[in-house]
Amino acid sequence: MTENRKRWGKRGVAAAAVVVTGAMLAPAANAAETATSWRDPVRSLELAAHPLRSTEPGRNNADLRALGAMIGGAKVVGLGEATHGSHEFFAMKERVFRYLVEEKGFRAFALESSWSAGMEIDDYVQTGRGDAREIFKRTMAGSPWDREEFVSLIQWMRDYNRAHPARTVHFVGDDLGAPSVNDAFFARITDYVRQHHPAALPKLNQLYTGLRPIDDHLAYLRKPLDERKRLATQAEQAFELIKGLTGAGELDWTAQHARFVAQTARFLSVDLSDPKSLPGFQILRDQAMAQNVAWWQRRTGQKVLLSAHNTHVAYIPDNPAMYPKTQGAFLRETLGRDYLPIGFSFDRGSFLSKDTAIGGDWKKFSVPAAPQGSNEYTLDKVRFEDFYLDFRTAPPAARTWLDAARPTRTIGTLFPVDPAVISLGRSYDAVIHLHDVRQADLRR
C-alpha cells in the first residue's frame, strides 16, 4: 500500500512539472484540509512539502525554485547528509550548487575536508592544471569524499570557470588537516614570509621544525603526547608571529593558512587514552570549521554552500556527550540569520561506511524501511516520493511534530550505530527527504 502511494506521488511530481509557471509549489489547501492538518502531522507536512523531481545534476531546475525562495538572502547554506556515503546526497549537492551559482549568485562550495586539500583542489578549479581524479586520489585518500560524485562536481566547476572567467567559483576545504598537510602547503606560508618579511623567516622555520610536514595524521598521533602538545603550541606561536606582520592582501591568506596549521596541530594534541578529553577536541574541530567558512565568506564576500554531515551543519548536536557544540551553532553565532542549515533524511537504502573506528575500508551497508516512531517513518508517509520543506513556514501541526525529538538515522564513518534522538525542527531550518538511496560511486 505504501509503495503504491509513493509511486503515485512520483507520477504527481512529473505532472506538476508542466504547470504554467514551471515552479514546483506546495499544494494549495481548502478550509477543510487546513482544519484536518491541525490534527494530522502527515497532512500538515504535505501542505508544506515541495516535491523534488530528481537528485541528479543537469536537470531542469523548476522544482528547485521554492528551495531558492527558502534560502532567500542567506550567505552560507549548510547542506547536510544523513550518511557519509550515499549517491543521492552527493549528487543533490552538485545539483543544488549549480542552481545556487546560476540563480542565486553563490560562488563557493565548502566541503568537510581539510583547508590544505581545498587549496589544492581550488588550484585545479581555477587553472585546469592536472587531472581531477588524480587530485582527488591525492587529497581525499581514505575519506568519504573520494567518490565519483565529487569528481563530477569539481569537473563542472572547472567547466563553469572556463566559460565564466569574470565570475569564477571556488572550492573550499574547511576542516582540519587529514590525511596530511604536506610540505607544499607549508611553503605557501614560508615562501610569503621569505619574500616579504625575510627577517621573520628563521623564527618561523624554528617554530615549524618537527611539525612540517604532517604526512600522515595517524602516524603523527603516535608521537608522544608531550611532543604533540609542544608542537601545537609552536604552531600557535607561528600563527601569532604572522598575524603581527604588516601588509595586506596576500598576508591575510598567509595568516589564514597559518591558522589552519595551528588548528590542526592543536586538534592532533588530543590524548586518545583519555575519553573525557574527546568532547573538548570535537568542539575545537567544529569551531575551526566554522571559523574557516566564516573567514572565507567575509574575506571574499562570496555566498557559500557548505557540505558536511547533518551532525555538523545542524544548530544542535545529535550526540551532545561527544559533540557538545556544532559547526552550525558556531556559524549561527557568527553570521546570525545569514546562516541557514538544511538536513537530509531517507527512508531506506544503501550507503558506504566502515565497521571499525580507525582505519578499515569503506563497505556497502543497507537499511530497510525506517521503523515506526522515527522521524523518517512519518516523513516517508508524505505522498511525494522525494520532497523538501521549510520548517519556518510549515503549518502549526507540522511545526509541533517537527519540534518533538525522535529516533533519527545519523550514519557517519562507523556502522552499525544506534539512531540519534533529535528534533528536526530545532536542528535545521529545512529538510530534504528521499524515499530511498544507494551507495556512492567509488572513484574510477
From first to last of its 444 residues, the chain has per-residue pLDDT tens of 444 445 434 333 333 332 222 222 333 334 343 344 445 799 999 999 999 999 999 989 999 999 999 999 999 999 999 999 999 999 999 999 999 999 999 999 999 999 999 999 999 999 999 999 999 989 998 899 999 999 999 999 999 999 999 999 999 999 999 888 999 999 999 999 999 999 999 999 999 999 999 999 889 999 999 999 999 999 999 999 999 999 888 999 999 999 999 999 999 999 999 999 999 999 999 999 999 999 999 999 999 999 999 999 999 999 999 999 999 999 999 999 999 999 999 999 999 999 997 788 999 999 999 999 999 999 999 999 999 999 999 999 999 999 999 999 999 999 999 999 999 999 999 999 999 999 999 887
Distance CA 86, CA 223 (A): 35
- In the three-class reduction of DSSP (H, G, I as helix; E, B as strand; rest coil), residue 368 is classed as coil
Q: Is 211 left (phi over 0), alpha (psi -120 to 50) or beta?
A: alpha
CATH number attached to the domain at 45-437 = 3.40.1660.10
Closest of 369, 430, 435, 436 to residue 26, by C-alpha: 430
Distance of CA 245 to the CA centre of its chain: 33
C-alpha pair distances (Å), 101 with each of 172, 231, 243, 369: 15, 40, 33, 35
Q: What is the model's pTM?
A: 0.91
Pair 278, 322: CB distance under 8 Å: yes
Closest of 443, 423, 229 to residue 343, by C-alpha: 423
Domain boundaries, the chain: 45-437
A 10 A CB-CB count for 155 gives: 15
- Residue type present at position 77: V
Helix residue spans in 301-392 (DSSP H): 310-313, 327-335, 375-379
